Amino acid sequence: MDIGFVGLGAMGLPMTRHLVDAGHHVTVASRSRGPIDAAVEAGAVEGDGPRGVVEASQVTILCVPNSPEVAECVDAALPVLGPGKTIVDTSTIDPDVERTQHERVTATGAAYLEAPLSGGTVGAQKGTLTLMVGGDAAVLDGVRPALEPFAGLIVHVGGPGMGQVVKLCNNLIYAAQMLATAEATVMATKAGADAHQLFEVLTHATGDCVAVRTRLPVEGVVPDSPASNDWAPGFMTDLMAKDLDLAIQYAAKSRTPLFTSGVVRQILGAASEAGYGREDFSALAKVIRQLAGQ
């Protein structure tokens, strides 16, 4: 299959490599030169920006940081869209903005899906990402070969915008987990508890969760955790803050109460101000540590 990929960041580049390894012809574009060179070295072909990528491809996958960039990609693609082409947006953006892109693309006769991702850079590298797909189920059936090489699970969750709603709900829970994990860990270690023993208990008790298992914010306890690897991002603080902003805005429009998300967002903001914006979002624990005098 001729597949296009726009956005070769920490997620997009390994996803592209999986597509090449699966035998697809992949045309790429990105804002930075280095990732393009890495993708070409892996077997992809450089396209002439988003428009050139869409023109060369049956299915084009977008993986960009925010709503305006998705809209910009669609702007560039519109002149070359039509029957036989599909755009799949794997970015995390505002659900209402996403619905607008569905309308703009399908008006040309082309197809559109949203498929925001969960699993972080580790999932992208391993090809085990979870995709929350919004749009026409029949379109999804037709483009599965373009998604399966980097996916561990693909779930059709509803019509346009619903993939984004489900993704934002997932991140609300994950962010709350991380703050609770950070607070509990700081309280325990300040009291003198052994962090290795704390981890053993939590992973076999009712406090068990993904944040504990993958992001316990104590150096050396979980070997693959950001804390044990100089807070290298699986998911950056600034990106989690962006996703919480999207969730809070969408909840306000839908008149849905959110309580914990506002608190977590403030801590993420403090982490960014402290210089941890490009570190993993578990670095919010460093703010808790400082407040606790650790």
Q: What is the pLDDT of residues 111-158, one digit of tens each?
A: 999 999 999 999 999 999 999 999 999 999 999 999 999 999 999 999
Q: Which amino acid is at 48?
A: D
Residue 189 has what pLDDT?
Answer: 97
Phi-psi region of 241 (alpha: psi -120 to 50; beta: other; left: phi over 0): alpha
- Token readout for 8 is 């070769």
pLDDT in tens, 8-45: 999 999 999 999 999 999 999 999 999 999 999 999 99
Q: What is the pLDDT of residue 202?
A: 98
- The CB-side HSE value for 46 (13 A sphere, CA atoms) comes to 12
pLDDT value at position 128?
A: 98
| Catalytic hit among 85, 167, 242, 286 | 167
Instruction: State percent of the chain over pLDDT 70.
Output: 100
Q: Is 167 a catalytic residue?
A: yes
State which CATH number among 1.10.1060.10, 1.10.1040.10, 3.60.150.10, 3.20.20.370 fits the domain covering 165-291: 1.10.1040.10
- The pLDDT value recorded for residue 96 is 97
Check if the beta carbon of residue 53 is closer than 8 Å to that of residue 29: yes
Task: Please state the pTM of the whole predicted model.
Answer: 0.94
> Domain residue spans in the chain?
2-158, 165-291
Q: Domain 2-158 is in which class?
A: alpha beta
Question: 79-107 burial, b for 16+ CB within 10 Å, e for fewer?
Answer: ebbeeebbbbbbbbbbbebbbbbbebbbe
pLDDT in tens, 230-287: 999 999 999 999 999 999 999 999 999 999 999 999 999 999 999 999 999 999 999 9
In this structure, the dihedral spanned by the alpha carbons of residues 34, 123, 147 and 209, taken in order and rounded to 10 degrees, is: -140
Identify the band that residue 191 occupies on the pLDDT scale cut at 50, 70 and 90.
very high
Q: DSSP alpha helices (H): ranges in the chain?
A: 12-21, 33-42, 49-56, 67-77, 95-106, 120-126, 137-147, 162-190, 195-202, 210-215, 237-253, 260-271, 284-291
Give the confidence band of 63 by pLDDT, cuts at 50, 70, 90: very high
